[in-house]
Amino acid sequence: MKKLNIALLAGGNSSEREVALASAAMILDAFDRSRYNVIPVDVHGLHWTCKGAGDRKVEVDKTDFSVPVGDGKIRFDYAFIMIHGTPGEDGKLQGYLEMMGIPCSTSGFVSSVETFDKTLCKRIVSEIDGLCLAREVLLRRGDRVDADAIAARLGLPVFVKPNASGSSCGVTKVKSVADMVPAIERAFTESDAVLIEEFIEGREFGCGVWITADGIRALPVTEIKSHKEFFDYEAKYTAGTSDEITPAEIPAAATVRIQRLAEAAAKVCNCRGIVRVDFIMTPTGDIYMVEINSIPGMSGGSIVPKQIAAAGLNMTEVINAVIEDTLCRRR
């Protein structure tokens, strides 16, 4: 059987670039080399490069999604996207690949756009029975900021976050009106819109969801206990700054509720591959969705690999299944 030529797209242009490179490095080791010829491609702005002979950087030809090799070229059959933030999660790469007729490992163009835009995603999932959503104020670049009015509407503290970003980049927990504007300005460095949400007191959970043509399967739930004020960038990626308990030590009924809500959110957003849905559960048992991560972290310390292991699976078989499912959908 001919090996598939797979481009492992890594890096990206956002503040999550280094995290994405770490995720891609872990995924690379898990590919079945008997089935796939995998070539890592560093996507950085307009330059998409891979290593050629003598570690020389070789540019991908975007006109036919290929790389030159000697006197010929290798045309990629498939793209495995491991880019957090733009252009991997926001639909840009998916749009290009769909136009080129190249299958990929993630949700499609429309779904990626919808899940990356936090406010739009909340609108889409808002009809899911039993799912709560934090009250919010959305600001676009150039809007007048009335910090007093925002505090009066949402209370304090609030979370100020970029409307289209990940890994908690640019996110601030604001406890006073005086700190509101600087937090908004910081968030605008990551996105053209800023989402301000009321603070929800509770325990934080993440649930991976594996979506194939055969159905939707929720992975074991993880409870996230940050040693910092919230699960920020440092807590996510610095050893010892958070505890991630998989499976979460909660009643079975609570686990099932979170899993069913995660599956429902992934389904209504038409997600594919593996995504992660984050929640907060209040002391009274209400479950609030925080966001959907359409390309969750896959580095050694990330949540989803731990959930895959807890489910009795290994990364190689999951990768094989994701690729095969994508190809089956096109046959």
DSSP line for 175-188 = -SGGGHHHHHHHHH
Instruction: Assess whether pLDDT exceeds 70 at residue 130.
Output: yes
Residues with Cβ within 8 Å of 104's Cβ and at least 6 positions away in sequence, in order, are 78, 79, 80, 81, 93, 94, 97, 326
The pLDDT-based confidence of 167 (bands split at 50, 70, 90) is low
Question: Average pLDDT over the chain, rounded to whole?
Answer: 92
Domains and CATH numbers, the chain: 4-106 (3.40.50.20), 114-131+201-330 (3.30.470.20), 136-198 (3.30.1490.20)
- For residue 323, give the H/E element and its range: helix 315-330
- For residue 216, give the H/E element and its range: strand 215-226
Tell me the three state secondary structure of residue 131: strand
The predicted model gives 214-218 an average pLDDT of: 93
**pLDDT: which is higher, 155 or 238:** 155
Other beta carbons less than 10 A from residue 35's beta carbon: 17
The pLDDT-based confidence of 44 (bands split at 50, 70, 90) is very high
Predicted pLDDT of residue 127: 95
DSSP line for 9-59 = EEE-SSTTHHHHHHHHHHHHHHS-TTTEEEEEEEEETTEEEEE-GGG-EEE
The predicted model gives 117-127 an average pLDDT of: 97
Contacts 24+ apart (CB under 8 A), 254-259: 254/281, 254/285, 255/220, 255/221, 257/130, 257/287, 258/205, 258/207, 258/218, 258/221, 258/287, 259/207, 259/218, 259/221
Which structure tokens are listed for 97?
Answer: 């690949």
Instruction: Assess whether pLDDT exceeds 60 at residue 233.
Output: no
What are the φ and ψ backbone dihedral angles of 187, each rounded to 5 degrees? Answer: -65, -35
